[in-house]
């Protein structure tokens, strides 16, 4: 267990500079977005009121108030979230291939450690999952601050004040990364874990069989996708209907099976087919 924890800490430290950069970009960009977009919205509102000779009350009646959704839908707000997501998806591949193609082919030293190769596999998966949760926690922490800054900069007469829960529900991206219920959490992050484990296993196929492994990895991804989406295919083409609870149960069971199978197969390939 201690070796596993040390490996997790090691993997997180290797990505720490990029990770901290992502946090800083998110912080600066989103707060800048709050200030810039708010100022632009207020200027537009004043221009309309001046041109049409409207009072603030008349403007609210004709055009509605200003709320945080304008900020949450802006590029400065969602851009860092998308950048962080892309960076972590890219790191799913980098976390393995960097060890093979780095200057010192570090994978040879890593695989010769007096530790189970399953620990190596799980430590890489755990480090990525913890970094995802860290980014989400950071967004949860700074979102109330951004909302408070927005509320303080918009005149009360023009403001449609929104709670944090309303903001996360109203914005598709925020509702995906900050689930409002435990069930949504299981769906969002369970699917994320499943996809990561499938990609890890595909990488192990490629590392084990090279060119043939690429084809095997792609086939594995395709088969896993078809199996997971099978309930939807059954409903669409089989004239069959699942109730929401039944569909959730099926997807949860399939997700657990595919994740467990992927971890087992990937760890087996790493132990028996990937050689030093």
Question: Quick one: pLDDT at residue 58?
Answer: 85
Q: What are phi and psi of 159, to 5 degrees?
A: -90, 130
Sign of CA dihedral 78, 80, 82, 85: negative
Instruction: Please report where in the chains the tokens 């990609």 appear, as a residue.
Output: 199
> What is the C-alpha to C-alpha distance for residues 232 and 213, in angstroms, rounded to an integer?
29
Averaged confidence pLDDT in the chain: 89
pLDDT tens digits, residue range 21-43? 999 999 999 999 999 999 999 99
pLDDT at 102 over 70: no
pLDDT tens digits, residue range 260-269? 999 999 999 9
Mark residue 127 as left, alpha or beta (left: phi above 0; alpha: psi -120 to 50; beta: remaining): alpha
Q: How confident is the model at residue 137 (pLDDT cuts 50, 70, 90)?
A: very high
| pTM (predicted TM-score) | 0.88
Sequence-distant (≥ 6) Cβ neighbours of residue 41 within 8 angstroms: 66, 70, 154
Longest dimension (CA), the chain: 78
Helix (H) or strand (E) holding 130: helix 117-153
pLDDT at 242 over 90: no
């Amino acid at each position: 267990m201690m070796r596993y924890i040390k490996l997790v800490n090691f993997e997180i430290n290797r990505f720490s500079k990029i990770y901290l950069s992502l946090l800083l970009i998110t912080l600066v960009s989103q707060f800048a977005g709050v200030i810039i977009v708010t100022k632009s919205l207020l200027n537009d509102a004043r221009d309309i009121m001046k041109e049409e000779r409207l009072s603030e009350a008349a403007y609210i009646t004709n055009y509605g108030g200003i709320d945080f959704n304008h900020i949450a839908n802006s590029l400065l707000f969602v851009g860092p979230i998308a950048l962080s997501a892309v960076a972590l998806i890219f790191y799913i591949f980098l976390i393995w291939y960097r060890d093979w193609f780095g200057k010192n082919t570090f994978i040879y030293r890593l695989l010769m450690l007096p530790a189970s190769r399953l620990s190596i596999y799980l430590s890489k998966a755990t480090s990525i999952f913890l970094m995802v949760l860290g980014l989400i926690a950071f967004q949860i922490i700074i979102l109330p601050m951004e909302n408070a800054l927005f509320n303080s900069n918009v005149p009360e007469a023009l403001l449609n004040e929104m709670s944090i829960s309303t903001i996360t529900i109203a914005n598709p991206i925020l509702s995906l990364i900050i689930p409002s219920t435990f069930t949504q959490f299981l769906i969002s992050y369970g699917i994320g874990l499943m996809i990561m484990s499938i990609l890890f296993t595909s990488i192990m196929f490629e590392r084990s069989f090279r060119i043939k492994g690429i084809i095997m990895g792609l086939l594995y991804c395709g088969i896993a996708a078809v199996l997971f989406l099978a309930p939807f295919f059954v409903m669409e083409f089989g004239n069959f209907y699942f109730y929401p609870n039944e569909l959730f149960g099926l997807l949860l069971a399939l997700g657990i099976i595919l994740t467990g199978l992927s971890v087992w197969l990937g760890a087996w390939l790493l132990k028996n087919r990937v050689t030093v």
